[in-house]
Structure 1
Amino acid sequence: MKLNSVVFKLGATILFLQLIILIPLGYVILQLILNYSVNQTETQLIRLSENYATQVEDLESPENMQLLEHLTTMTDTSAAILDQNGDTVLQTNWNDDITEEILENPQIQQLESGETIVEEYNFNGSNYLKVAQPITNQNGTQGSVVLFSSFGLISNSIHNIIVLVVLASLGAVILAIGFTIFISKKLGSPLIAMEKVTKQISEQKDFSLRVDYKANDEIGSLAQAINHLSETLERYQTNRNEFFSNITHELKTPLTYVKGYANAVRHEIYQSKEERDEFLEIIEDESDHISNLMDDLTDMSKIEEGKIDLNKENLHMNQLAKEILKRSHFKAADKGLKLHLSVPDHDVVLKADRSRIDQILTNLVENAVRYTETGQITLKIRDLSSDVWIEVIDTGIGIKQEDVPYLFERFYRVDKSRSRANGGTGLGLAIVKHLVEMHEGTIKIDSQFNEGTTFSLRFPK
């Protein structure tokens, strides 16, 4: 495992957090146990010394020795009885290492005043707890009883407890390490898988790869984002390949016509002046087709790069619609088609970019003329409370339902041969859709094959 890997960093972080919790917690537990043991020992010695002091009537009585020996044996302590002057009267279970002087003068005075002495001290490297209790009768204080308990006994108990706590801590650390490894791998493995997929996508350009991880968390959301990005890149690559293929075809075909007929005119391969004029007309038409294609490509590029700015103004839609139909009149008349305008009696005003709305409607009307052989084309405008509705209705060849979802894709043609003959570039509807959406509008298609097509547009005022 690499030290700079996310799994190692995550695992080290989790383990560090666990240890900074376990170590202080273990220390606090040990201190609590130590304080409890010392307090318990102190309380026990005070109680024993009080009980003994109340039972002693005569310091010289032999029963005192038996009682004291029984007491020290039961409690594993050392004891001494002192007279009023602090001199030793009795000792039992005594160890000379306990102390050279059992009580000091200030302590003897404290005992004479009825106080109990509790003291921790160190002698010859050993820690002891000393408790002294005055022995009193009706004549006053006649001596004192002093009990000693070595902290060595407490230390042994504490040592045993420490060993248990350390073992438990080691077990907790081992469990923490195992838990950390499991969690870090559980959390890190999806990230590693994402890294591999993104590297393969970047280096191998294989956009079909996906991250196989699903969860309702941030990592799952990241996996979905990577998959979505991969799908987008795959779709972009497909569209890019199709675009280059289509644009090559769209340019190659008219250029072939131009080159062929130009060569025929140059070498006078024609039968008459009329045929020569026909060749020149074809060259002109194909040149117009290339020019239109370049214009459409320029518009499409600007739209997709967000380089088109809308200069919105108040448009008088009734007048604009009349101008559009007037421009299309000659093409419609050549095919015997009627152009019909349906507008409200009042002037319809829409705040939009004039040149782009003109481009949208001109494209749709000319498209209708191009694909309609008999009947009429209707441009209808409706003024609603918050929207302006525009419809372009034709009685043309119509569109099959399976083709409708793809009409706004670049270079998509329902009938390629017919579209080519009619001079379409395959970009018009894609541009129309983008321009409509730039105006925060919507566009819908309702078409019946061999009956006609209706384009419905809605623009917010």
Structure 2
Amino acid sequence: MVGGTGYTRSTWRDWRDWRDWRDWRGWPTRIARLWRSSLQFRTVTITVALSGVAIMVVGVYISVSVGNDLFQSRLNQVLVDSNRATTAAQGIFDASDAADRVEVQTLVGSARTLVTAASSSQMIAIFRAPGQDASTVAPQDSSSFGASTGVITPDLRLQVQENAGEQFWQSVTLATDDGGQVPGIVVGSQLTVPVAGRYELYIGYSLADAEATLAFVQRTLGIAGLVLILLIGAVTWIVVRLVVTPIRVAAATSQRLASGDLGVRIPEKGEDVIATLARSFNGMADSLQSQIKELADLSEVQQRFVSDVSHELRTPLTTIRLAGDVLYDHRSTFPPAVERTAELLHTQVERFELLLSDLLEISKYDAGSVELETEPTNLVHLAEDAIDGLRSLGDSKGTVLTLVAPGGHLDADVDPRRIRRIMHNLIGNAIEHGEGKPIIVSVDSNESAVALSVRDYGMGMSQSEMAHVFDRFWRADPSRKRTIGGTGLGLSISLEDAVVHGGWLQVWSHPGEGSCFRLTLPRTANGTLSSSPSPLPPADAGGATAARGTEGHYA
């Protein structure tokens, strides 16, 4: 209930949607969004639109055909009536022996009455043909066309005057008594009046009835077409809904499958195409689930194998290490060749021990069993410790290590052991590839993040090399000798350590200008990052500015 009024949230949501649709200015946007998102709406709209065009074309064709047929039928009837009336009038004139004006006038009146009766038309016009001698007995012109007299055009009169014994017609617009207009036909022919000479006879026929019939047909076609379009739309909506509903189910099922719910399946009903699709999809899902399970089992076996081997190797390695330390401590008493062998054994055993430790750490990340032991930690203090621990190595290379911390004296909730390992790897890597040039370690922070950058000015890397810098066991120059006993897993583990903290580990590099690795961490556990306090590329970068980051993206 909402506010005790008795309306449910669903009722309020429906009213809100209706209110939104009442805003006509937003219709184009809503319709465009509905067009993009609804297959059913697109199908129904296209079907109704094309059906509407087809019905309109058919309706126009029927309307034109009916109109032409009505006109042609009425024209034939008019010509027959006019010819009958003209023949009857000429018969009266031929049978008369009128000689004076009164008799001729009476004769013309009788003929006019006969024409009106024979043609069923009240629009009669009789004009004396021009070009004849003046006669005192010739009756005057007369017309009952009224305001429509002007529809008898000079062209029609000329045809009637030059062709005696023939009929000529013309489609015109006639004026009605109420000031309106209706279509009509004017038929003209020639009469010979005794004593008076040749006269033109024009009979006007109204097509109002035919126009009314055509309007009725058009109105009926329009209503029938609209009803048919609505029926087509409704039928299409129902049919498409029956077809689209299984597709929606398949789409929802595929989304759940893609999100990791491997046990979801599409219901199988019937033997039609949709059922075939459901069976095929379910078969694919079964096969995919089986393969993923096999790969997961294989991966688990591999991870367990690496972990077990690493653990099992620790015991003999410890024994070898103890024996090697004894030999190493007494190497001065051995001949030179044996002394060198003892030194090599000691170095390689140490490297083997580091490799086992890194493999164990990697196997934990692969198995997803890493747990952080976070505590408020000052990254500046960790950086100072890491620099002090590697200062002797830097001095041996002639490298000056400098710590810059403009805003880094703020604690962050991190696992100090893992962050210390990241710093050790980054600074050691910079010393190894810095070619004896200065290295600047900077720590900065803002309200949500803490960043550590390690900038060297050594050989740098190309774009193709940066793409693999975080790969396991990858080396930019395989022939280059390792000076700090690295295992090839340091940057990979550092990347995993950064990711498990919800942070970024990114690198910028350019050949001849050195490299800059930047670690960005949220200041609080489970925090999110939107930006880094430290710039990347660094402010003194003069070459290309591409960088590669934590998630394998260029940043």
Category of TM-score, reference length = shorter chain: 0.3 to 0.5
Q: TM-score under structure 2 normalisation?
A: 0.38
Q: TM-score under structure 1 normalisation?
A: 0.45
Q: Does 1 or 2 have the higher relative contact order (CA < 8 Å, sep 6+)?
A: 1
